[in-house]
Amino acid sequence: MLDFVFEYLLTMQTLVLILIIIGLKSSIKFVPQNRAYVIERFGRYQSTKEAGLNFILPFIDRISANRSLKEKAVDVPEQSAITKDNISLSVDGVLYFRVLDPYKATYGIDDYVFAVTQLAQTTMRSELGKMELDKTFEERDILNTNIVAAINEAAGPWGIQVLRYEIKDIVPPQSVMEAMEAQMKAERVKRAQILESEGDRQSAINRAEGAKASVVLAAEAEKEEQVLRAEGEAKAIVAIASAQAESLRQVGKAAATEEGQKAVQLDLATKAIEAKLAIAKESSVVLLPDAGTDAASMVAQAMTVITTLNKNVSS
């Protein structure tokens, strides 16, 4: 009997221990980073457990939803849209969003991923309808910003925040693409012609400026050459005049002496004879002086003049 009671108590203790372990395991919840657990108690919302160690009541509380708080990328399927100028386009994109409020994301909408994707498609069609075809290519960033603002305004009650929206492809009809290619080709040809004409114009300007600079430099060089030549001639004239003046001064000093006067007499007589000889060579008629001592008389006359000049100088 005691053995039976002992076995019964041991079995009960084991069951209690097992129940305690199960209860502890059920009550302790480790929430991973960037995740949130939505807890319900008796079918009603009780709390939101964030990352870390959390406790709940076993068999009473349960995890209603496990929400990721990380940024999520969802592919928005290709769809048709009509622009303001009635051009049909095929557009697809990528939507980036994250859960801000796990409570609203759980109880505010059934499937927030599907809802936000559909909202992105309808918003994209609406925004494209406000723009012309050319603007859809030129202002893609503005289009993305407008789509994000419109989605955030509508997705506020769902606890969702749209971070950005990126349009991947905008495909117009084939006829429109051909017209656009022809237009781009014409624009490229136009730009090439403009660049070529600008190059010719600049080349002509450069050549004219080069010729002008060459003429100016040649004129300046000729001017400098004339100035230098004139300065050289002036210096030569001054030097010759100075030399002649010095020569005259030296002759005057020498003539004032007795030896100088004799040298002058000899020089004058020599020049007189040379002059008559030159006349005799150039003319067929030669006039001889009456007196045989004509040369001596000429020298005497010259000496008389020199003596008079010396007296005047000394007085």
- Domain edges within the chain: 2-68, 72-172, 183-255, 257-314
- Kind of pairing, strands 28-31 and 35-41? unpaired
Reported as a pLDDT band with limits 50, 70 and 90, residue 96 is: very high
What percent of the chain has pLDDT above 90?
5
Q: What is the mean pLDDT of the chain?
A: 79
Lowest mean pLDDT among 66-70, 93-97, 172-176, 284-288: 284-288
Mean pLDDT of 237-246: 80
Query: Which of 48, 29, 30 has the alpha carbon at shortest distance from 38?
Result: 48
For residue 184, pLDDT beyond 70: yes
Residue-level pLDDT at 144 = 87
Residue-level pLDDT at 242 = 83
- Kind of pairing, strands 52-55 and 88-99? unpaired
Q: What single string gives the DSSP state of each residue in 151-172?
A: HHHHHGGGTEEEEEEEEEEEE-
In tens, the pLDDT along 105-119 reads 988 888 889 999 998
What percent of the chain has pLDDT above 70?
74
Mean pLDDT of 270-295: 58
For residue 219, pLDDT beyond 90: no
Please give the Cα distance from 66 to 48 (Å, whole number).
10
Please give the Cα distance from 19 to 27 (Å, whole number).
12
Burial of 217 per CB tally in 10 Å (0-12, 13-18, 19+): exposed
If phi over 0 gives left and psi between -120 and 50 gives alpha, with beta otherwise, what is residue 155?
alpha
Mean pLDDT of 279-294: 53
Query: Which of 146, 42, 45, 59 has the alpha carbon at shortest distance from 104?
Result: 45
Mean pLDDT of 94-104: 91
> Would the pTM of this model clear 0.85, i.e. be above it?
no
Please give the Cα distance from 112 to 38 (Å, whole number).
15
CATH topology of domain 72-172: Tetrahydropterin Synthase; Chain A (3.30.479)
Residue-level pLDDT at 310 = 54
The stretches of 139-292 forming alpha helices (DSSP H) are 140-155, 174-255, 258-282
Q: Which residue has the higher pLDDT, 134 or 2?
A: 134
Q: 120 near 113, Cβ under 8 Å? A: no
Reported as a pLDDT band with limits 50, 70 and 90, residue 292 is: very low
Residue 85 dihedral angles phi and psi, to the nearest 5°: -95, 25
Residue-level pLDDT at 314 = 53
Residue-level pLDDT at 251 = 67
For residue 52, pLDDT beyond 70: yes
Query: Which of 46, 55, 137, 128 has the alpha carbon at shortest distance from 87?
Result: 128
Burial of 106 per CB tally in 10 Å (0-12, 13-18, 19+): buried
Please give the Cα distance from 28 to 44 (Å, whole number).
20
Reported as a pLDDT band with limits 50, 70 and 90, residue 94 is: very high
Mean pLDDT of 175-203: 80
Q: Which residue has the higher pLDDT, 23 or 120?
A: 120
Burial of 144 per CB tally in 10 Å (0-12, 13-18, 19+): middle
Q: Which residue has the higher pLDDT, 270 or 32?
A: 32
In tens, the pLDDT along 124-153 reads 888 888 888 878 877 888 888 888 998 888
Question: Which residues, in sequence order, are bridge partners of residue 196?
Answer: none
Residue-level pLDDT at 98 = 92
Mean pLDDT of 34-45: 88
Question: Which residues, in sequence order, are bridge partners of residue 218?
Answer: none
